[in-house]
Amino acid sequence: MLSFLYRLVEHYQREHGLHPNLLCLNPWHYQKLLECLPEMENQEDVTRFLMMQIVISPEAAHPYVAWLPGDTGSGLPRERERVL
């Protein structure tokens, strides 16, 4: 599963010039991902490891990656935001 996700990310990055920040997959694929990462204790650990937010949807027939502007899930200021 990890090698499949790596190829998805690599292809997306080549095609769009951006590292995707969103992974969408169904519960079965998510379970297979967790089996590859037994040291990860929760979804937040997996998110940090993959450097992508994770959406688990029963409607996702196949895992896919995307890029969403303003990565609101990271908790970090956006590039144009000023931190006072």
Residue 25 and residue 63 in contact, taking contact as beta carbons nearer than 8 Å? yes
What's the pLDDT tens digit per position in 31-69? Answer: 999 999 999 989 999 999 999 999 999 999 999 999 999
Q: Has this prediction a pTM greater than 0.85?
A: no
> Would you tell me how many other CB atoms lie within 10 Å of the CB of residue 37?
14
**What pLDDT is recorded for position 16?**
96
Where is pLDDT greater, at 70 or 34? 34
**What pLDDT is recorded for position 70?**
76
- Could you write out the DSSP letters of every residue in 25-72? E-HHHHHHHHHH-TT--SHHHHHHHHTSEEEE-TT-SS-EEE--SS-G
Domain segments of the chain as ranges:
2-69
d(CA 72, CA 70): 5
Pairing relation of β-strands 22-25 and 64-66? antiparallel
